Amino acid sequence: MIKNIGSNWALSAVQILVIAIIVPFTISALGEYRTGVWEFIVSTSGPLQLLALGMPMATVRHVSSAVAAGDTSEAERVIGNSLTLSMILCGVALLIGALIFGGITEMILVSDRWSLTAAELVDAQRALAGVLLLIGTSFALRLPYAIYDAHHDFVVRNIVQGSGFLLRLILTVTLLSWKANLTVLAAIALIVAVLECVAAVSISAVRHKPLRIRPRRVEKDMFRKLISFGVFAFLMNMGALLAFQIDAIVVGFAMKPEDITHYAYGNKVFEHFLAVILAIGMVAMPMASDMYAKQNFAGLRDVYLKWSKIATSLVLLMGCYLLVLGPEFLAVWFTDDYHPAMGEVMQILMVSFLLFLPMRGVVLPVLMGIGKTRGPGYGLLAMGLLNLALSLVLVRTHGIHGVALGTAIPNALFAGLFLVIGARQLEVPVGQYLHYVAWKPLLGALPGVALLAWFKWGLEVQGTVAVIGCGVVYTALFGLLQVFYVYRRDPYTDPIALMQAKRASS
């Protein structure tokens, strides 16, 4: 499990590095106004993802169970039915995408408030069409990765995806330098997605024999099995969409493209922050399915506690730094394109993510892996709906800061709810969970927070070298405290004991 999660983290590191280059390059090439239009296009196309009906997640769950039982024919049956259903859903998504295209063009792109020139309008329409096409076909394009997840073949899967990130970097820098417009960005996304899918299918055909990725006639019992699990994954996806991808649409309807840019780039870091934590969940869910199928309940609880604590430490490491020095970090990242509102949005959101991310990264995937889908589905949906309602109200009184508050409040409520649900389903008392997972990591983080506060208000650090240097010193202190205090004598993860054992064996 450590190797697979480590490979996921390596992929996240590649993704963060690529985005760290692409984001400032894109905003510099397009400008704040057109960048805001692009962020709005991506957000308005996002609802099409819901039409996947949780099929990828349902496929991972059922293929994992079949592989664990050694039933290759059942695994292939799941894959074939899922692929056929995904292709049908792609067709539906493209039809709905045509309606979205017309609606967004009439309601927003041609409005006087946005003031697009004729050339900018055509460019935006082409980009919107390209993004809608990408999302409409993504159900089938991403399905091959379910086979990698079910086989715990994360290292190879991550090499394929990492290659896609690097290709995106090369194409973005090359093509935007040649022609800086939104159509080029949409074309790059389509090219990378198709090439990734071709590579994933080709490699899977060799590594995962005799499993084959091919459509087959939909069988009634398999349809019910996939949909019964997928419907709650669908609710989770809808909740996540409402919570994290709809905000740019709320800002776009109430404010101007520049405001979308300020909110989106204040929020940009969390997309990749979340990916680091979800790297644990990607491995935890199929592993939980495997353990549950083998009735290894003690091992299941061990995975739940061990990785919840590790996720909490990671969240505190990155979150405390961004909470204190986040605005200075964004100022270094975006240079002349930085706006103070970006840093303020990030700090509001960061408070809630300290609570939310450990729940989303570990508790939810484990619950989904053991088939407890109802709570995660309804919980994330409720969180998303509350987010949308609060954001629509607060954007009119507090602007983009109100939208950030509308996201932060449901995040915190969700964390409390799933703390209780996870403890109940896995038969781990809340007090035991908090004592093991939260108590020591919180105490171990306090000296680092004090150091960051001194850097910020005592030394008033600014500039690339100072901000990065502060991060290095803070990370070193945080790491030492984790090794010699937080994880010392830990029943699952004691770095000192592991090093001593390794030294003794050698």
What does the alpha-carbon distance between residue 391 and residue 405 come to, in Å, rounded to a whole number?
7
Range from 163-172, 225-234, 409-418, 431-440 carrying the lowest mean pLDDT: 225-234
Q: What is the pLDDT of residues 271-308, one digit of tens each?
A: 777 777 777 777 777 778 778 877 888 888 888 888 89
Q: Residue 422 carries which side chain, given as an amino acid letter?
A: G
Provide the 10 A C-beta neighbour count for residue 443.
12
What does the alpha-carbon distance between residue 103 and residue 80 come to, in Å, rounded to a whole number?
35
What does the alpha-carbon distance between residue 212 and residue 77 come to, in Å, rounded to a whole number?
10
What does the alpha-carbon distance between residue 138 and residue 86 come to, in Å, rounded to a whole number?
9
What does the alpha-carbon distance between residue 84 and residue 81 come to, in Å, rounded to a whole number?
5
Q: To which residue do tokens 């609710």 refer?
A: 235
Q: Where are the domains of the chain?
A: 2-492
Q: What value does the mean pLDDT take over residues 338-344?
A: 89
Say whether pTM exceeds 0.85.
Answer: no
Q: What percent of the chain has pLDDT over 70?
A: 89
Q: By three-state DSSP, how is residue 489 classified?
A: coil
The first and second tokens of residue 314, run together, are 């990671």
Q: What is the pLDDT of residues 156-214, one digit of tens each?
A: 888 898 899 999 999 999 999 898 889 999 999 999 999 998 898 888 888 877 767 77
The first and second tokens of residue 404, run together, are 């950030």
Closest CA to 24 of 464, 448, 382, 363: 464
Across the chain, what does the average pLDDT equal? Answer: 82
Q: Residue 89 carries which side chain, given as an amino acid letter?
A: L
